[in-house]
């Protein structure tokens, strides 16, 4: 009896193990909105989607790390193979579905819009993803047509070689041409490991099946008081209402369909979507809260009464997961309030904490005064970037005394009498910073330190110099913006989709960079009118003494 029971138990255990392995081998990704399912590789991890990735459908990351070593310099790079699904809505569908405005029974305005893809097809997506973002040049090494489950498919084999970030890669992509939408499924892997993994990728690609569509049309619906608004013509209270709609929409979208193993939790003013340990998440939030409070206190003269949207902090398990999540995302988006980081064991001085600091500052300045954020002159923009990145948190408060290495670098230049004179530093553009760029950033950081930590307040001439300078930049930026809108006829046609709105967002950013020389010169002239050689000498001496 004991033997039979033992055999029965072992038989049951075998069935369970077979079922588990079968489930693991046949994991499916199913999208009923677009109407398809496809198998994913064994053991791969599903990644959440960015709030602003309106054209991407899914991402998966390998559980194994591959390595590529550059034979010329001996450096090695790690990379995890990944799978992405991208949807390209057909032009005919775009023409049929227009932006519609409705009023609900509650009197609220409802907008219905197409889920815009900024790329007309897969090849244009590749150009933006690799060539335009500096991740390497690509070319199609093989292209053929076939059918899967009665669906016409274009099969690509693509190589990314020239200047490829973290090593040369091979991409296997099948584009499935289903009604009203092309669905591209892409596998990316380091070239030396491609042949070994090709059969697994092919198995997944051949598993594509159409399913009955349900759960929504091929467009997203944004409800409530959402609109493509001209924020410049609104009061702070009106802008707050629009931003709260963006905020709510982003939080709701980020919270939906979170993969297994990720947690969603509101922590302070942040929505935290976490795939790391809880202690690290708590430390990230503590740091972010302290930096936010410091910005509120230090720059209280910027954007009075303006509402800053509560960010999403997305914490990935490791660097590979973070890199796969971030790659190809739309950073130039008016609705981008995500801070993406990953588990870091370097403590408060680690690079990830520096990144969190800088992203908090980006979101804070963009909502407080977007024009000022984009128009900041080189020394101020790069100086703040470096300075804020180095802030540390002790007992819930920011600490300014720990960046000894950077300060020592600048002090060494001071001893060698190689520091850039302040008058020259204040009119340097971004291109000027490229020469000896690292020390120039540190010089900018030290000058920002001089102003924001109270050292400049010891002199009458420099006590309120930074607020005055930044207000002058605001005025000049407003003048430039008005001139550009008049010259290009902007303002007559408002954006009708989020893609158009994001394009205007990018144009605004690039426009100020093109007028950088004017910004620098006029901000300098208006701020330092009436300064005598003696004033400049006292300023320079006091600054050098503070280092």
pLDDT tens track for 201-214: 999 999 999 999 88
For residue 535, pLDDT beyond 60 = yes
pLDDT averaged over the chain?
81
Which of the pair, 198 or 439, is modelled with greater confidence? 198
Q: pLDDT tens for residues 281-291? A: 999 999 999 99
Looking at residue 333, its pLDDT comes to 57
Token readout for 221 is 């619906």
Q: Position of tokens 């669906």?
A: 151
Length of the chain: 547
For residue 83, pLDDT beyond 80 = yes
% the chain with pLDDT above 70: 76
In the DSSP assignment, the letter for residue 376 is -
Mean pLDDT of the region 29-54: 86
Q: Position of tokens 């809880």?
A: 278
Q: What distance in Å separates the CA atoms of residue 327 and residue 53, rounded to the nearest whole number?
A: 11
Mean pLDDT of the region 352-370: 94
In the DSSP assignment, the letter for residue 121 is S
Token readout for 125 is 């997506």
Q: pLDDT tens for residues 498-508? A: 556 556 656 66
Looking at residue 503, its pLDDT comes to 60
Looking at residue 214, its pLDDT comes to 82
Of 52-56, 216-220, 250-254, the range with the lowest mean pLDDT is 216-220
Looking at residue 320, its pLDDT comes to 85
Q: pLDDT tens for residues 444-485? A: 999 999 999 889 998 999 999 999 999 999 999 999 888 877
pTM of the model: 0.74
| Domains, in order of start, for the chain | 39-102+119-218 (3.40.1000.10), 231-546 (no CATH)
pLDDT band at 22 (very low <50, low <70, confident <90, very high): very low
pLDDT band at 27 (very low <50, low <70, confident <90, very high): low
Residues 289, 269: contact at Cβ < 8 Å? yes
Looking at residue 23, its pLDDT comes to 42
Q: What distance in Å separates the CA atoms of residue 413 and residue 415, rounded to the nearest whole number?
A: 5
Q: What distance in Å separates the CA atoms of residue 211 and residue 78, rounded to the nearest whole number?
A: 37
Q: Which of 166, 169, 207 is nearest to 189 (CA)?
A: 169
% the chain with pLDDT above 90: 44
């Amino acid at each position: 009896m004991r033997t039979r029971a033992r055999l029965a138990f072992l038989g049951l255990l075998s069935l369970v193990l077979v079922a588990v392995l079968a489930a693991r081998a046949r994991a499916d990704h199913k999208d009923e909105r677009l109407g398809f399912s496809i198998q994913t590789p064994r053991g791969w991890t599903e990644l959440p989607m960015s709030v602003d990735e309106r054209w991407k459908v899914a991402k998966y990351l390998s559980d194994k790390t591959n390595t590529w070593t550059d034979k010329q310099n001996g450096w090695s790079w790690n990379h995890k193979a990944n799978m992405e699904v991208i949807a390209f809505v057909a032009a005919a569908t775009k023409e049929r579905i227009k932006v519609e405005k409705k009023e609900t029974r509650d009197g609220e305005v409802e907008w219905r819009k197409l889920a815009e893809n900024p790329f007309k097809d897969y090849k244009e997506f590749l150009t933006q993803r690799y060539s335009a973002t500096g991740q390497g040049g690509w070319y199609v090494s093989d292209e053929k047509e076939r059918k899967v489950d009665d669906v016409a498919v274009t099969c690509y084999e693509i190589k990314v070689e020239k200047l490829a970030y973290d090593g040369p890669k091979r991409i296997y992509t099948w584009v499935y041409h289903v009604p009203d939408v092309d669905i591209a499924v892409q596998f990316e892997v380091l070239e030396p490991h491609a042949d070994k993994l090709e059969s697994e990728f092919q198995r997944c690609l051949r598993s594509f099946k159409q399913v009955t569509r349900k759960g929504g049309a091929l467009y997203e619906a944004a409800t409530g008081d959402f609109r493509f608004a001209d924020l410049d013509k609104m009061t702070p209270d009106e802008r707050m209402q629009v931003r709260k709609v963006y905020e709510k929409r982003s939080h709701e979208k980020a919270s939906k369909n979170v993969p297994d193993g990720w947690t969603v939790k509101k922590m302070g003013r942040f929505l935290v979507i976490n795939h790391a340990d809880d202690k690290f998440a708590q430390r990230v939030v503590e740091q972010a809260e302290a930096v936010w409070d410091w910005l509120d206190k230090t720059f209280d003269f910027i954007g009075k009464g303006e509402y800053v949207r509560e960010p999403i902090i997305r914490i990935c398990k490791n660097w590979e997961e973070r890199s796969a999540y971030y790659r190809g995302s739309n950073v130039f988006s008016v609705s981008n309030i995500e801070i993406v980081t990953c588990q870091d064991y370097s403590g408060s001085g680690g690079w990830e904490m520096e990144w969190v600091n800088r992203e908090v500052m980006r979101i804070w300045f963009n909502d407080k005064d977007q024009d000022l954020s984009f128009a900041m002159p080189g020394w101020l923009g790069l100086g703040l970037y470096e300075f804020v990145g180095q802030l540390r948190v002790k007992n819930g408060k920011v600490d300014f005394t720990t960046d000894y290495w950077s300060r020592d670098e600048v002090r060494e230049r001071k001893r060698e009498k190689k520091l850039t004179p302040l008058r020259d530093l204040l009119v340097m553009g971004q291109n000027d910073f490229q020469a000896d760029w690292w020390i120039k950033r540190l010089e900018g950081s030290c000058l920002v330190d001089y102003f924001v930590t109270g050292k400049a307040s010891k002199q009458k001439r420099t006590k309120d110099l930074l607020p005055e300078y930044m207000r002058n930049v605001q005025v000049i930026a407003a003048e430039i913006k008005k001139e550009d809108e008049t010259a290009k006829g902007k303002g007559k046609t408002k954006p009708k989709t989020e893609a158009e709105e994001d394009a205007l967002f990018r144009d605004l950013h690039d426009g100020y960079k093109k007028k950088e020389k004017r910004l620098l010169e006029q901000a300098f002239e208006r701020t330092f009118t009436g300064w005598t050689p003696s004033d400049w000498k006292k300023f320079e001496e006091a600054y050098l003494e503070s280092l």
